[in-house]
Chain A
Amino acid sequence: MQKLVRIILLLATFALIAAAMQTVYVQSAKAKVMQEPKMSSQEVLTVDKGTALEVLESKGGWVKVKTANAEGWVSRLLVGSNPPSEKVTVFTGEEQDIGKESRRRASAVTSAAAARGLTEDDRSRLGFKESADYSSLDSVDQIKVTDDELMRFSAEIR
């Protein structure tokens, strides 16, 4: 009986330890971990998107975290409770491939129309008069920034 109680206590201890650990995940491409909860403090290290960080403490807009190698502070703006999700699109069929140097295929324009959700007939029938320019919206959607382009452009800023 005593042995059973000890085993249960041991298992409960491990369960509590597991539950106590709060993990956050880096949402941005990179995130700097700072020595103090301040942008101007010394940088401890830079972590990549998706990196899991154990939360030790919270203070204002900052979270104290622990990695495999170090401890430090990261801005709340850069982390979230879940791993970063993939890009969500409303274009069905001809999906946008964001990460590569791909051109938007002509048939995707049809998909864009389907993604509008409402037609001009809908708007007119329901008496909504404010004009909407879907053609220009399609033009806006066609301007893409690839990961490589972003990396090169951002490198010139830093």
Chain B
Amino acid sequence: MFKKLLIISVWVAASFAHQQTVNAEFHGRVSNTQAEATTDDVRAEIQFGRELAARVLGRYKLYENKELAKYVSLVGASVAQFANRPELEFHFAVLKTDSINAFAAPGGYVFITKGAIMNMQDESELAAVLAHEIGHIAGKHIVKELNIKSAEDSPVSSFSRFLGGSGDPAKAAFLSMVDKASSILFETGYKMEDEREADSNAVLYLAFSGYDPQALSRYLQKIKAIKGENTSVLNKTHPSFDDRIGLVSGVIDNEGLNSGSYNTGKERFSDFKSKI
């Protein structure tokens, strides 16, 4: 009996060691969005994101059309439910500019320009662009990029400290961080690896939500063909169109998403686009 128990224990220990390897690989590969973030950390992310969102709206102005805003929000929410950020309420809005662009602020704020929508042919293309921006929020790209050092060595927990401070130095530090985030959105752009992650995850979000996974590739090819003055901001802050189209095609091939019928939502989209 004792010998049997010993054999079982050795087997369990070996299984444990194997499972720990699986666990380590799972945790290692899962983006550090899975790292422990407290409710206060998430609140701080939202607070920060709202300040950045207010800057976006200060620069571009809100396109005031409630019906269109609701429609864009529904498309966005259809995708965002697969973003692995159940603690966030995502908000979507259209910006009053003919330039072709979209922006994401931490905490769930996603913006798309009127110019971008006017160059889309169906709802899946709208979903694709929103999915890319959702990917930036899901990946906490701005949160990680700011890399604020703290006693806890956690960029996100630093926000809580700044917001908790009531004096001018704390507020100045906070605004300085928002300035850096603005620079990422409007000037320097995200890291290329973050752009790639947002693109590859966008394809998967589209597939999860039932939209045509080829939509992002179609849209990028269209915008590449335009290459006019209004796309200059987009080109400055992203990898090349060819790089992006190649990456997206790779994801589609790997996941076997190049066949099958998907919904493009063309009719519903055309109805709303006609009201712009």
* B47 with A115: CB separation less than 8 A: yes
Contact code string B195-229 (vs A, CB < 8 Å = 1, else 0): 00000010011011111000000000000000000
* B256 with A12: CB separation less than 8 A: no
Q: Which residues of A contact B207 (CB under 8 A)?
A: 39
Give which listed residue, A29, A32, A84, A116, contacts B54 with CB less than 8 A: A116
Q: Which residues of B contact A139 (CB under 8 A)?
A: 62, 64
* A20 with B73: CB separation less than 8 A: no
* B26 with A49: CB separation less than 8 A: no
Q: A115-B47, A117-B47, A143-B93 are in contact. Are A22 and B172 (CB under 8 A)?
A: no
* B54 with A132: CB separation less than 8 A: yes
Beta-carbon nearest neighbor of B110 in chain A: A140
Beta-carbon nearest neighbor of A153 in chain B: B74
Beta-carbon nearest neighbor of B33 in chain A: A80
Q: Is A145 an interface residue (CB 8 A)?
A: yes
* A58 with B260: CB separation less than 8 A: no
* B5 with A9: CB separation less than 8 A: yes
Interchain pairs with CB closer than 8 A, number: 214
CA distance A20 to B39 in the complex (A): 28
Q: A115-B47, A126-B172, A157-B78 are in contact. Are A140 and B8 (CB under 8 A)?
A: no
Q: Which residues of A contact B77 (CB under 8 A)?
A: 145, 150, 153
Whole-angstrom distance between the Cβ of A125 and the nearest chain B Cβ: 7
CA distance A63 to B30 in the complex (A): 10
Interface size class of A (residues with CB under 8 A): 35 or more
* B66 with A80: CB separation less than 8 A: no
CA distance A149 to B74 in the complex (A): 8
Question: From residue 13 to 52 of chain B, which have CB atoms closer than 8 A to chain A?
Answer: 13, 15-16, 19-20, 22-23, 25-27, 29-30, 34, 39, 42-43, 46-47, 50-51
Give which listed residue, A75, A115, A154, contacts B78 with CB less than 8 A: A154
* A123 with B174: CB separation less than 8 A: no
Whole-angstrom distance between the Cβ of A11 and the nearest chain B Cβ: 11
Q: Is B53 an interface residue (CB 8 A)?
A: yes
Q: A16-B13, A80-B34 are in contact. Are A117 and B174 (CB under 8 A)?
A: yes
Q: Is B61 an interface residue (CB 8 A)?
A: yes
Ranked 6 nearest A-B pairs via Cβ:
A40-B256, A131-B58, A132-B54, A133-B57, A39-B255, A136-B62
Interface residue ranges, A against B (CB under 8 Å): 2, 6, 9-10, 12-13, 16-17, 19-22, 24, 27-29, 32, 38-41, 49, 55-58, 61, 63, 75-81, 84-90, 96, 98, 115-118, 122-123, 125-126, 128, 130-134, 136-137, 139-141, 143-145, 149-150, 153-154, 156-158
